Amino acid sequence: MAPTDLQRTIDAVWRIESAKLIAGLTRVVGDVGLAEDLAQDALVAALEQWPAAGVPDNPGAWLMATAKHRAIDVVRRDRRLERKRSELLAELAARGAPEDLDAELDDDIGDDLLALMFLVCHPVLPAEARVALTLRLLGGLSTAEIARAFLAPEPTIAQRIVRAKRALAQADVPFELPRGTERSARLASVLEVLYLVFNEGYSATAGDDWMRPELCAEALRQGRILAGLAPEEPEVHGLVALLELQASRARARVGATGEPILLLDQDRARWDGVLIARGLAALERAEQLGGARGPYALQAAIAACHARAREAADTDWARIAALYATLAAVAPSPVVELNRAVAIGMAEGAAAALTLVERLASEPALARYPWLASVRGDLLAKLGRRSEARAQFERAAALNENARERAVLLRRAAECS
């Protein structure tokens, strides 16, 4: 195998298997930072041995076996971990399990992955740290890849990850599946992180590209894994439905030179029918589980209205406005109200929507939100108030840090001249 092909193979194996490795190791050593180090040791061993020996038939099992042996060596050598090992063996003996670290590492990987998700998305960490740690430990992304995705300096991301792991250790967050109300609260944190990762990929907040497809793909991949690990949680299926339906439009959202194509202008023949079918099925599952009024399921239902419309003119804007009204009652937010106003504008006319939007102008949370000015500009343009519309589009462009979106807004301002 050529060196470049081997490197691509190892990268792909790591991206797929790293979360399982780290999850299994964290359960045994009780420290997510040490678990990642052990997994990285196994990766280094692969880089050293596979070029000569070839890629094993089951590379994931090879990495796990290598990491296990390394973990056992560390446990035996380190006094602090030796105490943990003694406690672990006593606990295992008390519940009748074999006194064998190998066997312990081979326990149900599904529970381990779910526990790792709950660990890295613990509310003790700030949101940006949860996002970085999720992409690092569950997504297998390097620090450099995460930094590029969020247009942040690599040292900043590295420091964020180190601090997050230290905070988890200092807070003594247990590696376990939480129960009852704590599980519900922590699950909300997990879903929020996946939602944030996807949104940053779907509409990048800054930089030269409108979309970062790798972030969308990673959030969707982890959402699907979570749905398999927690099949009875309606909001998990609601989030997966939303991500599937949003991702179905990806090919139609960007033009040949990378310029944004807005929803009403997209070629719907380019929407991905497979992703739409998966999204609608996930939404149906969420509703069957009693989660129709969950925030993610409601957003998925809105996305489904667009997915079911063959042409933009066929969109059921009245239903979308009603769904936004329900979402506003369930999860109040000025942004939700702004989106509801847009739907009302499409269903009832620009004048009705502008009345609602003007009420939002004094919302502190929207003071520097570029899409408030953009929506006002669009409604004013439809009402023939072109000079006012131009000023709003120019304001929206000034507030926007994404070069592609800024260009669209400036073009719309010029059209109002």
* Per-residue model confidence as pLDDT tens digits over 36-67: 888 888 888 888 888 888 888 888 889 888 98
Torsion over CA of 137, 32, 61 and 49, rounded to 10 degrees?
Answer: 80
Average predicted confidence (pLDDT) for the chain: 87
For 318-330, what is the mean pLDDT?
A: 97
Burial profile 181-207: b = 16 or more Cβ within 10 angstroms, e = fewer: eeeeebbebbbbbbbbbbbbbbbbeee
3-state secondary structure string, the chain? CCHHHHHHHHHHHHHHHHHHHHHHHHHHHCCHHHHHHHHHHHHHHHHHHHHHHCCCCCHHHHHHHHHHHHHHHHHHHCHHHHHHHHHHHHHHHHCCCCCCHHHHHCCCHHHHHHHHHHHHCCCCCCHHHHHHHHHHHHCCCCHHHHHHHCCCCHHHHHHHHHHHHHHHHHCCCCCCCCCHHHHHHHHHHHHHHHHHHHHHHHCCCEECCCCCHHHHHHHHHHHHHHHHHCCCCHHHHHHHHHHHHHHCCHHHCECCCCCECCHHHCCHHHCCHHHHHHHHHHHHHHHHCCCCCCHHHHHHHHHHHHHHCCCHHHCCHHHHHHHHHHHHHHCCCHHHHHHHHHHHHHHHCHHHHHHHHHHHCCCHHHCCCHHHHHHHHHHHHHCCCHHHHHHHHHHHHHHCEEHHHHHHHHHHHHHCC
Tell me what pLDDT residue 24 has. 86
pLDDT 10s digits, 180-224:
778 877 888 899 889 988 988 888 777 777 788 888 988 899 899
Tell me what pLDDT residue 172 has. 87
Q: How many Cα atoms sit within 13 Å of 393 on the Cβ side?
A: 24
Tell me what pLDDT residue 177 has. 82
Model confidence at 15, pLDDT cuts 50, 70, 90, reads confident
Does the pLDDT at position 81 exceed 60? no
Q: Is residue 9 within 8 Å of 62, Cβ to Cβ?
A: no
- Global pTM reads 0.77
Model confidence at 289, pLDDT cuts 50, 70, 90, reads very high
Does the pLDDT at position 79 exceed 80? no
Q: Which among 281, 324, 335 has a CA at the least distance from the CA of 302?
A: 324
- List beta partners, residue 118: none
d(CA 276, CA 269): 12
Percent residues over pLDDT 70 in the chain = 90
d(CA 22, CA 12): 16
Model confidence at 99, pLDDT cuts 50, 70, 90, reads very low
More confident residue, 96 or 352: 352
d(CA 97, CA 103): 9
For 9-32, what is the mean pLDDT?
A: 84
Does the pLDDT at position 92 exceed 50? no
